[in-house]
Amino acid sequence: MDIGTRRDSGKHTAILQAAIQVISQAGYHNAQISRIAREAGVADGTVYLYFKNKEDLLLSILRKAIGEVVLQLEQALPTEKTAEWKLRRIVEIYFQDLSRDPALAMVTQVHLRQVDAELRRQVGDIMKPFYNLLDGVIDQGVREGVVDGAISHRIARRMIFGTMDETVTAWVLTGSKYNLPALAPEIVRVLLYGISRRDDVKEEVTL
Amino acid sequence: MDIGTRRDSGKHTAILQAAIQVISQAGYHNAQISRIAREAGVADGTVYLYFKNKEDLLLSILRKAIGEVVLQLEQALPTEKTAEWKLRRIVEIYFQDLSRDPALAMVTQVHLRQVDAELRRQVGDIMKPFYNLLDGVIDQGVREGVVDGAISHRIARRMIFGTMDETVTAWVLTGSKYNLPALAPEIVRVLLYGISRRDDVKEEVTL
Amino acid sequence: MDIGTRRDSGKHTAILQAAIQVISQAGYHNAQISRIAREAGVADGTVYLYFKNKEDLLLSILRKAIGEVVLQLEQALPTEKTAEWKLRRIVEIYFQDLSRDPALAMVTQVHLRQVDAELRRQVGDIMKPFYNLLDGVIDQGVREGVVDGAISHRIARRMIFGTMDETVTAWVLTGSKYNLPALAPEIVRVLLYGISRRDDVKEEVTL
Amino acid sequence: MDIGTRRDSGKHTAILQAAIQVISQAGYHNAQISRIAREAGVADGTVYLYFKNKEDLLLSILRKAIGEVVLQLEQALPTEKTAEWKLRRIVEIYFQDLSRDPALAMVTQVHLRQVDAELRRQVGDIMKPFYNLLDGVIDQGVREGVVDGAISHRIARRMIFGTMDETVTAWVLTGSKYNLPALAPEIVRVLLYGISRRDDVKEEVTL
DNA sequence: GATGAATGAGTGTTCATTCAT
DNA sequence: AATGAATGAACACTCATTCAT
């Protein structure tokens, strides 16, 4: 069922888009294949020509979303020299990409969690490249001397991802009303320096 | 946990415990009422004498878990004077409580997210008291001058909760093998000061 | 379970009345024993001290209703001399009794039909005495020369009962708003002479 | 009966026939969809491709039965000139149609009554056309001078329908053993002239 | 007699998936 | 490739009835 890179007559994309719309509105368990098919303008059976099953459809959405973020990051990060500025770009691009398609964000942030153990493992695989990028930046930060080498990489990564994740989820659940990317600078500030007051700031975080 | 309350000849508690076990293993959508009932040693119908429906059973688990954390925090926090130490106690107690019952943690961290919009609202209501405690500590921190008043309360709270949540979820999904509470000091350190290197540290974070 | 004639502390009657009320409103299949018990002010189990099961409860209602009608007819009919006047009394008393307790009428006319084959046989047994009364009057009518002996007794009886039944059911289903006994004279007229015009009437039907 | 229409490869008809058979034997509340499906040779789910739900299946049976009677009456009645002969045709055709399919008669006469209030309203709607036909004939009878204009139309209609209904129900409950249409002439006689003896008969009712 | 907590059998309906065309 | 009619497994919840107290 690996259709490959050719997207045929656009049906692959149409079904994926329809799935994002339907799932974002109704949730994974209430998103019937028949409704997704109708929305995409194809027959029920056609969905199974492009996706192995409903679960695969959900994972494909995540792959697409994370794939795009990673792709953009791979292009943008080399531009930045310091780890600090790379982290800044990560948060910005992550927020920008997700805020560009609220329905997609709703699916990845909320409905994707509504799945069972087996699926969760695959979600981890898909997130890998993104986690690796984060780890790379933390590494560089330590080498540069701006990130505390004593902090566990795992903990650092989880704080960064956990904070971004919680922020996007809150944004999505409150209706995607405010400007998400605008929060990036303040987020980066707490990631770098925590919530503590800093009188000794020389070069303040600006954007 | 709530030992001795034993209302209704212990059936209420038995069903709740059985639900935690079954849901933690199979997930909410795969946890049949009949299986929970069997595990609890009661008839299917008996479940409905103690809980309104399956959803109510799930919410009761969260209520129990969060209720206990909040209860302990309300007793412990007044003991601590500074906001910093209060934050420290929050992370410690949160980690300790959840690590005491990995199955319960699995349910609240993973399976509880597998629910639809209507339920999500109720989850928010249950979490309210915990969020309020966090806000209170942040407030105090600002007044004490240790927390940066320029940082949005919302963002601060989301970083704190997002980081703890991500940490517990990762612990639970990797099999609850390592000592979760032992991570508390390092977590508090990144919450307070971020990931940045701090040469200017006068009084380092210790425990 | 034959409690006999003694009605103990009135619980037998209380449960029967409660059943009439609950079934008339909710229908047989929606009338839970627990609700009938609550309405009667007794425990669920107590219902089974006075009635074999739910079905028996329903039959008891019919027995009570038909029993009262038959009792009254057995007292009133001997008073009337001619078959014509006896028929008149039958319709009058049948209508009067049912209109006295609309809830009871609702149960016997509507909800009692919502039962299965086995029960239906028993309903027939209960109706027997009433049918016998009808047959007796028809017999007498033939002997008196006012009823056409050529008409099958069965057909005559079904016309009489079918017409009364349809009339009462219509009355009950439209909310028991109008005066049912007031229809008796006209009903008797069509039972005796059909719907045809009668120019040759010597002694018209009056009341 | 509607032979040749055969829509949907006959599955619609097959399910309807299976439902008539199963319900006539077991009653509405004991007729499981799975049993009807098996009897029709289709999967359970297939029933729901042709009928909205179990209730809709029951109403479809009545619609089919009454629809056929009304159709035949609409063709036959214009043939008859007088109201008397039209009434005769109504009884004949009603009896003939129902006696042609005893299982169908069992469902409409007995099991259809086993339903709740909401359904009952819809039953009324379906019966409307038949009631209207009866009213039309009574009207004509009054105009012709053979029906007593002083008799309430409602009462006349209820006597006619109540008598037919009671007759068919009795026939069906006793095993559909005797010839139902053969009773038509005698039934018409009691509808027209009641049970009274008629010495003054000039042109007696014959068939 | 009276209670009411506990039982557990019973079923309409949905929907992901298949496959003959 | 595309269709969509057909499939059938799966399950939360109700409620008449029982029985230990």
pLDDT digits (tens, 9 = 90+) for A171-202: 998 899 999 999 999 999 999 998 888 765 55
The residues near D54 (Cβ < 8 Å, ≥ 6 apart) are D33
Q: Is any atom of strand E within 7 angstroms of residue C42's beta carbon?
A: yes
Does the structure show a pLDDT above 60 at B174?
yes
Does the structure show a pLDDT above 90 at B197?
no
Count of beta carbons in the 10 Å neighbourhood of residue A34: 11
Q: How many CA atoms lie within 13 A of D149 on its CB side?
A: 5
Chain segment A17-34, per-residue pLDDT in tens: 999 999 998 888 889 999
Token pair in block for residue B57? 């059973």
Contact D149 C195 (CB under 8 A): no
Chain segment C43-81, per-residue pLDDT in tens: 999 999 999 999 999 999 999 999 999 999 999 999 999
Place of tokens 């209030």: D117
Give the range among B51-55, B85-89, B132-136, C111-115 with minimum mean pLDDT. Answer: C111-115
Per the model's pLDDT, the better-predicted residue between A20 and C201 turns out to be A20
What is the distance between the alpha carbons of residues D8 and D6, in angstroms, rounded to a whole number? Answer: 6
CA of A45 to C1' of E20 (A): 13
Q: What is the DSSP letter of C146?
A: S
Please, which positions of strand F sit below 7 A from a protein CB? 1-20
One-letter-per-residue 3-state SS of A64-133: HHHHHHHHHHHHHHHHCCCHHHHHHHHHHHHHHHHHHCHHHHHHHHCHHHCCCHHHHHHHHHHHHHHHHH
What is the distance between the alpha carbons of residues B54 and B32, in angstroms, rounded to a whole number? Answer: 9
Residue-range domains of chain B with CATH: 1-52 (1.10.10.60), 59-206 (1.10.357.10)
pLDDT, residue C77, reads 96
Q: Is any atom of strand F within 7 angstroms of residue D44's beta carbon?
A: yes
Classify burial at D202, counting beta carbons within 10 Å of its beta carbon; exposed 0-12, middle 13-18, buried 19 or more. Answer: exposed
Contact B148 A115 (CB under 8 A): no
Contact A115 B117 (CB under 8 A): no
What is the SS3 assignment for D147?
A: strand
What is the distance between the alpha carbons of residues D7 and D25, in angstroms, rounded to a whole number? Answer: 26
**Nearest C-alpha of chain B: how many angstroms from A196?**
4
CA of D18 to C1' of F5 (A): 20
Does the structure show a pLDDT above 90 at C92?
yes
What is the distance between the alpha carbons of residues C178 and C172, in angstroms, rounded to a whole number? Answer: 10
Q: Which chains, if any, share at least 3 CB pairs under 8 A with chain D?
A: C
- Give exposure, A108-126, as e/b (b: 16+ Cβ within 10 Å): bbbbbbbbeeebeebbeeb
Please check whether residue D145 is in contact with residue D82, taking contact to mean a CB–CB distance below 8 angstroms: no
At C163, which amino acid appears?
Answer: T
At C85, which amino acid appears?
Answer: W
- Averaged pLDDT, D45-69: 94
CA of B161 to C1' of E14 (A): 38
pLDDT, residue A27, reads 87
Place of tokens 């990797």: B174
Chain B residues close to A205, C-beta within 8 Å = none
Chain segment A137-160, per-residue pLDDT in tens: 999 999 999 999 999 999 999 999
Does the structure show a pLDDT above 70 at D107?
yes
Q: Name the residue among B183, B69, B171, B79 with its Cα closest to residue B128.
A: B69
Q: How many CA atoms lie within 13 A of B101 on its CB side?
A: 20
Chain A residues close to B163, C-beta within 8 Å = 158-159, 162-163
pLDDT band for C5, please (50, 70, 90 cuts). very low
Does the structure show a pLDDT above 80 at C141?
yes
The residues near C120 (Cβ < 8 Å, ≥ 6 apart) are D110, D173
Please check whether residue A83 is in contact with residue A138, taking contact to mean a CB–CB distance below 8 angstroms: yes
Q: Which residue of D has its CA nearest to C188?
A: D194
- Give exposure, B4-41, as e/b (b: 16+ Cβ within 10 Å): eeeeeeebbbbbbbbbbbbbbebbbbebebebbbebbe
Q: How far is CA B97 from CA B65, B104, B168, B189, B190, in A?
A: 8, 10, 11, 20, 21
- Averaged pLDDT, D10-19: 95
Chain B residues close to A116, C-beta within 8 Å = 26-27, 29-30
Q: What mean pLDDT is reported for chain C?
A: 90
Chain segment B36-81, per-residue pLDDT in tens: 999 999 999 999 999 999 999 999 999 999 999 999 999 999 999 9
What is the distance between the alpha carbons of residues B142 and B151, in angstroms, rounded to a whole number? Answer: 10
Q: What mean pLDDT is reported for chain B?
A: 89
- Give exposure, A63-86, as e/b (b: 16+ Cβ within 10 Å): bbbbebbbeebeeebeeeeebbeb
Which residue has the least CA–C1' distance to nucleotide E11?
Answer: D32
pLDDT band for C4, please (50, 70, 90 cuts). very low
Q: How far is CA D161 from CA B23, D77, D99, D169, in A?
A: 60, 17, 17, 12
Q: Is D161 on the interface with C (CB under 8 A)?
A: yes
**Nearest C-alpha of chain A: how many angstroms from B43?**
27
Q: How many CA atoms lie within 13 A of B17 on its CB side?
A: 14
Contact A159 B158 (CB under 8 A): no
Q: Name the residue among C2, C97, C108, C114 with its Cα closest to residue C49.
A: C2
% pLDDT > 90, chain B? 75
Please check whether residue D62 is in contact with residue D112, taking contact to mean a CB–CB distance below 8 angstroms: yes
Please check whether residue B183 is in contact with residue B167, taking contact to mean a CB–CB distance below 8 angstroms: yes
Q: Name the residue among C26, C8, C18, C74 with its Cα closest to residue C42.
A: C18
Write down which residues 27-56 in A have CB closer than 7 A to strand E: 30-34, 44-45, 47-48, 53-55
pLDDT, residue C9, reads 75
Question: Which secondary structure element, helix H or strand E, spans residue B75, and what is its range?
Answer: helix B54-76
Token pair in block for residue C66? 């038909």
pLDDT, residue D2, reads 36
Write down which residues 54-93 in D have CB closer than 7 A to strand E: 54-55
pLDDT, residue B148, reads 94
- From chain D residues 124-153, the ones with a CB under 8 A of any chain C CB are 138, 141, 145-149, 151-152
pLDDT, residue D110, reads 83
Please check whether residue D70 is in contact with residue D133, taking contact to mean a CB–CB distance below 8 angstroms: yes
Chain segment B22-33, per-residue pLDDT in tens: 999 888 888 999
**Nearest C-alpha of chain B: how many angstroms from A201?**
11
Interior angle at CA A111, CA B116 and CA A47, nearest 5:
115
Looking at the partner chain, which of B27, B156, B189 has a beta carbon nearest the beta carbon of A190?
B156
Does the structure show a pLDDT above 60 at D1?
no
What is the SS3 assignment for D137?
A: helix
Contact D159 C163 (CB under 8 A): yes
What is the distance between the alpha carbons of residues D12 and D8, in angstroms, rounded to a whole number? Answer: 6
At B154, which amino acid appears?
Answer: R
Give the range among A58-72, A108-122, D57-71 with minimum mean pLDDT. Answer: A108-122
- Averaged pLDDT, B139-153: 94
Per the model's pLDDT, the better-predicted residue between D15 and B115 turns out to be D15
Count of beta carbons in the 10 Å neighbourhood of residue A61: 22
pLDDT, residue A203, reads 52
Phi and psi at B175, nearest 5°, equal 100, 15
pLDDT, residue C1, reads 39
What is the distance between the alpha carbons of residues A83 and C185, in angstroms, rounded to a whole number? Answer: 103
Q: Which residue of B has its CA nearest to A119?
A: B27
Does the structure show a pLDDT above 70 at D8?
no
Q: Is D204 on the interface with C (CB under 8 A)?
A: no
Q: Which residue of D has its CA nearest to C120?
A: D173
Please check whether residue A39 is in contact with residue A21, taking contact to mean a CB–CB distance below 8 angstroms: yes
Interior angle at CA D184, CA D180 and CA D190, nearest 5:
130
Chain segment A53-91, per-residue pLDDT in tens: 999 999 999 999 999 999 999 999 999 999 999 999 999
Does the structure show a pLDDT above 50 at B6?
no
Q: Name the residue among B116, B109, B125 with its Cα closest to residue A114.
A: B116
Does the structure show a pLDDT above 70 at C6?
no
pLDDT, residue A200, reads 58
Interior angle at CA A129, CA B161 and CA A118, nearest 5:
70
Does the structure show a pLDDT above 60 at C203?
no
